[in-house]
A and B are shown apart, each in its own frame.
Chain A
Amino acid sequence: DSGVTQTPKHLITATGQRVTLRCSPRSGDLSVYWYQQSLDQGLQFLIQYYNGEERAKGNILERFSAQQFPDLHSELNLSSLELGDSALYFCASSVEEGRGGNTIYFGEGSWLTVV
């Protein structure tokens, strides 16, 4: 158990809909990362937050957005869903930003299926 909690574990929704994925980082971790893993793309970095502020964006679509709240939990919002958005979405956390020696720990992921 990494200490990173993601909900829901599984989600099935229709095209065009909107969903919210939730992440609670490990206790004491200020930095949160979101990743997407689809069959053909591997693990892709989406976005990073540190202590409530956006730090960096990766391959995140404009239809997707995220935020980190004062209690440090984070939400990833996916809207106007398409079949190709079906994937595993992972949240990860680390103690600080900017220090490569701080380990990043991953949650177990949220399976999103768009039908």
Chain B
Amino acid sequence: DAKTTQPNSMESNEEEPVHLPCNHSTISGTDYIHWYRQLPSQGPEYVIHGLTSNVNNRMASLAIAEDRKSSTLILHRATLRDAAVYYCILRVLNDMRFGAGTRLTVKP
């Protein structure tokens, strides 16, 4: 079973920031927090991952709570191409379990 909890859906306006939350209250010290996104009829695409510290890359930022029981994926300026299902996953070594994710709708 997935060990993360995400809202089923969220909406955003184009060019505004988006904060996608994820709860993982049972996280252990060795679990990495990974985020993927999936466009319709495509395989998931890696977005970002982290362990304890906040992380930034060209796609997004990942903010991790100090107790690591929650995290937030931040898209700084949403575009229509960011409309997708976003998955928050806890990873231990090569073991990953996907939940239902959050469906992000971006309105022009």
Q: Do A and B bind each other?
A: no
Interface residues of B (CB under 8 A from A): none
Interface residues of A (CB under 8 A from B): none
